[in-house]
Structure 1
Amino acid sequence: MSAPTASLWRLANFRNLWLAQTFSLVGTQVTILAFPLVALLLLDASALEVSMLYAVEFVPILLLGLPAGAWVERLRKRPVLLVSDAARAVALLAVPVAYVLDALSLPLLFAVAFVVGLGTLFFDVAQGSYLPALVAEEQLADANAKIEVSRSASQLAGPTAGGVLVQFLTAPVAILLDALSYLASFVLLLFVRGREVATPPEERQGLGREIGEGLRFVVSHPLLRPLALCDAAANLAFAAVLALQVVFAADDLHLSATAIGVVLAVGNAGGLVGALVSGPLSTRFPPGPLLIASIVLFSVGAALLPLSTGAIGFGFGLFVVYLGVVVYNVVGTTLRQLATPERLLGRMNATLRFIEWGTLPLGAAVGGLLVAPLGLRTVLWIAAGVCVLSVVPPLFSPVRTLMANPTAETEPSVTP
């Protein structure tokens, strides 16, 4: 582990991991716009089919979300990251190749989405367990904030670039660039040399028992449980929004591909602001009240989306959403990592992914099904209502009064 006084930018391991994340995230943001536009423009897909395409990417979480954590803990983390990047790159390359061969189809897009989701599941579980081994404990919040800056910057630049690429070079070319971004991430990860922690064979308890231990840890923890429930509800709402935002912008707001990209980028600028201020906010305010405030903020943003009648209103609503979400993510991720023993990090991350992300395909599918009878705007109102309810679990738990980040060895510090 690095010396506490070292700057994160001077740590080659963290710097390479951060750069790898940045390359892949920019490409991913291009594909978030390009993938549904491939279905809409080239395959004449319906709103339901587009939402199902989004949902399929999260099906691996429902199928393998829990065992993924136990598997990752048994392995060295860097090879998991490398295989995940390679798998996603190969899957995405299939789209432009099929387009050139005139073999592009919705079943192929569904298959690609599934493989990309599978790679993302294992990458995120391994990355969340690997990062604490690359930096000192007191640097962890700063490291998470820097990764969120990268994520938010990609969300700012990616949609704009995606809109331009789709409009002038076609959507398959945009997806090709995402595949290349995963290859760039793969190369950078080859230079990461962190302390590898894998469960020795003699300490393994069997897959079922290890999964059960991870579940019990999260479900019984007074801080992790309410945050997991909050994330599950918020993700249920956001899944519908993310699956339908391009359709809403194109069909209801009548925006061009370039305009949609600009609007999504303007909205995602809120995430960049959130990433930049989350570090200073974490030093000035206790984590519990800060988490509650961030939930209220992104809930307000969600309510602004169905009120929008044009590009400016829609972009501003997304700006507020992502501002709150990123502050919540930085503070919440740091809290979870510090509250979890190292040997349980993989299972904690996987269990939370299963609980939190398991609602994403459900939200996307239900949102798509409700479009025909209720309309896009009504579906966005329902999503906003569910988002508001997400504040309830942490509001009525020790999270609300948490005054300092906990550690895996101590009880959480709360006000009386």
Structure 2
Amino acid sequence: MSRLVQTVLPARLGVPFRWLIASSWTSNLGDGIAMAAGPLLVASLTHDARLVALGATVQWLPPLLFGLLAGALADRWDRRRIVLVVNWVRVLVLGVLTATIGTGHASIVLVLAVLFVLGTAEVFADNAAQTFLPMLVRRDDLALANSRLQTGFITVNKLAGPPLGAALFAAGAVWPFAGQAVLVAAAALLVARIVLPAVPRDPDRRSHLGRDIAEGFRWTVRHPAVRTLVLTIFIFNITFGAAWSVLVLYATRRLGLGEIGFGLLTTVSAVGGLVGGVLYGWITRRVSLGNLMRIGLIVETLTHLGLALTRQAWVAIGIFFLFGVHELVWGTTSVSVRQRAVPRALQGRVGSVYTVGVFGGLVVGSAVGGVLAEHWGVTAPFWFAFAGSALFVVLIWGQLRHVAHTDEAPEPLPEDDAPEESARDVAGPAGGTHPH
């Protein structure tokens, strides 16, 4: 057992990283349960495709509204404390939702409101939590540590969570949300065990939140690789969001799958992600990052086309498997690019710009998907996703060359924009408090 632990979680990553990954896996299991249970709850309360798509929108809208603020606060406040407070708020809200469902007073308006509040809480928790890793492991270990986090995310959030959530929902609508509340509480207790090194801050430096947010945005615009990633994820999430916002309707109406079958689609995608995680090192040794991104965008484009064409569940399952491989490879690469490139004092703000790109695309896409599905059927969003993705691949193709330079040291900011630490400080250990 100790050899297995050492292989999965090498000692050089440190004990704090093990607390972080335990918290991440626990929280993500709860989120995976809700990933299936949330849409099923909304679909059980309404047959309007626009309201079903709105269920996705209200969860994707908070990062767009509050992402930049969350990033600025993460660079100002105690990041661990942010995660702890917000997770306990999530536990409280989930408890209210559970009680409402259990007493038979759940309505579509109430459920959508609760989903919005939960999504808002996650913005602040996730933005702060994503800054932990560069403070806990060496720069050279970021790819390995991220692959472990991604593998755990896929295993529990996508592989175990959705079918468990669907099965719990089939047993009773109250159970998946009660289970998520318990898991989020456990994750908060695990985060409390993490000790983070201090982030240097100039006590004489007093700036407004607006200036802090603008500083992170300017840095993102000036860095070619990160700028390219933000633009790409924004456009591709418009197309992805359009299709995935009505996925529960596609699975039940188009493929004829039941509640558990809907959860299994995500499970198959997760299996593909595990395969991608195993192959990631082998792939990146043979394919440049720029070409890896190009291949990924082609795979995603063809995913939408395949799902638009098929009526066979087994074909869709195969497509979801390949999409899962792509999702892991893309996700691990993009987060490693950002963490290597961004100075530590800007991690929260630059991460929030990326988050706004992610969820801004999803919000726009989900609104489009709901309208298309309501007027032209559940495959219309997938045709839109295919056409839009294909067009963008052609337009962005040349810009992906910037990603090939991400192994370079982080770029320092101009003198008047420089935060509390230089780019040089990010590459090495954080003084005596570094776990290594």
Q: What TM-score do the two structures reach when normalised by structure 1?
A: 0.91
Q: Which amino acid aligns with 1:317?
A: I
Choose which of 360, 364, 367 in structure 1 pairs with 2:366.
364
SS of 2:379's equivalent? helix
RMSD: 2.1
Q: For residues 269 and 390 of structure 1, what CA distance do their matches in structure 2 show?
A: 28
Q: Which amino acid aligns with 2:259?
A: A
* Correspondence for 1:38: 41
Choose which of 401, 404, 415 in structure 2 pairs with 1:399.
401
Q: For 1:373-397, what per-residue CA distance to the aligned partner results, in whole angstroms no more than 9, with x for missing partners?
A: 2111121111122233443465222
1:285 aligns with 2:290: no
Q: Which amino acid aligns with 2:369?
A: G
Residues 199, 360 of structure 1: CA spacing in aligned structure 2 closer, same or farther, 3 A cutoff? farther
Choose which of 131, 134, 137 in structure 2 pairs with 1:132.
134
Choose which of 11, 14, 20 in structure 2 pairs with 1:11.
14
Choose which of 62, 73, 85 in structure 2 pairs with 1:71.
73
* Correspondence for 2:106: 104
Q: Which amino acid aligns with 1:396?
A: G
Residues 25, 392 of structure 1: CA spacing in aligned structure 2 closer, same or farther, 3 A cutoff? farther
Q: For residues 42 and 312 of structure 2, what CA distance do their matches in structure 1 show?
A: 24
Choose which of 20, 23, 38 in structure 2 pairs with 1:20.
23
* Correspondence for 2:32: 29
What are the ranges of 5 or more consecutive residues in structure 2 without an aligned counterpart? 1-8, 414-436
Q: Which amino acid aligns with 2:308?
A: P
Residues 218, 10 of structure 1: CA spacing in aligned structure 2 closer, same or farther, 3 A cutoff? closer
Given that 1:142 and 1:279 are in contact with CA atoms closer than 8 Å, whether structure 2 keeps it comes out as no
What is the percentage of aligned positions where both structures have the same residue?
28
Choose which of 155, 163, 167 in structure 2 pairs with 1:164.
167
Q: Which amino acid aligns with 2:168?
A: L
SS of 2:246's equivalent? helix
Q: For residues 375 and 294 of structure 1, what CA distance do their matches in structure 2 show?
A: 27
Residues 38, 228 of structure 1: CA spacing in aligned structure 2 closer, same or farther, 3 A cutoff? same
Report deviation, 1:233. Answer: 1.1
Given that 1:73 and 1:199 are in contact with CA atoms closer than 8 Å, whether structure 2 keeps it comes out as no
Residues 82, 257 of structure 1: CA spacing in aligned structure 2 closer, same or farther, 3 A cutoff? same
Residues 140, 170 of structure 1: CA spacing in aligned structure 2 closer, same or farther, 3 A cutoff? same
Q: What TM-score do the two structures reach when normalised by structure 2?
A: 0.87
Choose which of 42, 47, 50 in structure 2 pairs with 1:48.
50
Q: For residues 182 and 148 of structure 1, what CA distance do their matches in structure 2 show?
A: 18
Given that 1:77 and 1:127 are in contact with CA atoms closer than 8 Å, whether structure 2 keeps it comes out as yes
Q: For 1:53-77, what per-residue CA distance to the aligned partner results, in whole angstroms no more than 9, with x for missing partners?
A: 1101122222222122111100111
SS of 2:199's equivalent? coil
Q: For residues 157 and 196 of structure 1, what CA distance do their matches in structure 2 show?
A: 35
* Correspondence for 2:315: 313
Report deviation, 1:23. Answer: 1.2
Q: Give runs of aligned pairs for residues 266-415 of structure 1, distance below 5 A.
A: 266-392=268-394, 394-397=396-399, 399=401, 402=404, 405-409=407-411
Report deviation, 1:9. Answer: 7.5
Q: For 1:289-337, what per-residue CA distance to the aligned partner results, in whole angstroms no more than 9, with x for missing partners?
A: 2222222222222322112212212222222222112201111111111
Q: For 1:78-114, what per-residue CA distance to the aligned partner results, in whole angstroms no more than 9, with x for missing partners?
A: 1111122222222222222001222111122112111
SS of 2:196's equivalent? coil
Report deviation, 1:401. Answer: 7.0
SS of 2:241's equivalent? helix
* Correspondence for 2:198: 196
Report deviation, 1:17. Answer: 0.8
Given that 1:301 and 1:319 are in contact with CA atoms closer than 8 Å, whether structure 2 keeps it comes out as no
Q: For residues 122 and 369 of structure 1, what CA distance do their matches in structure 2 show?
A: 30
Q: For residues 93 and 310 of structure 1, what CA distance do their matches in structure 2 show?
A: 39
Q: Give runs of aligned pairs for residues 175-214 of structure 1, distance below 5 A.
A: 175-197=177-199, 199-214=201-216
* Correspondence for 1:114: 116
Q: For residues 12 and 376 of structure 2, what CA distance do their matches in structure 1 show?
A: 50
Q: For 1:20-75, what per-residue CA distance to the aligned partner results, in whole angstroms no more than 9, with x for missing partners?
A: 1111111211111111211222x234221111011011222222221221111001
Residues 317, 373 of structure 1: CA spacing in aligned structure 2 closer, same or farther, 3 A cutoff? same
Residues 201, 370 of structure 1: CA spacing in aligned structure 2 closer, same or farther, 3 A cutoff? farther
SS of 1:202's equivalent? coil
* Correspondence for 1:3: none
What are the ranges of 5 or more consecutive residues in structure 1 without an aligned counterpart? 1-5, 412-416
SS of 1:74's equivalent? coil
Bigger mean CA offset, 259-268 vs 342-351:
259-268
Report deviation, 1:282. Answer: 2.9
Q: For residues 40 and 404 of structure 1, what CA distance do their matches in structure 2 show?
A: 43
Q: For residues 340 and 12 of structure 2, what CA distance do their matches in structure 1 show?
A: 22
Residues 182, 200 of structure 1: CA spacing in aligned structure 2 closer, same or farther, 3 A cutoff? farther
Residues 404, 28 of structure 1: CA spacing in aligned structure 2 closer, same or farther, 3 A cutoff? closer
Q: Which amino acid aligns with 1:282?
A: T
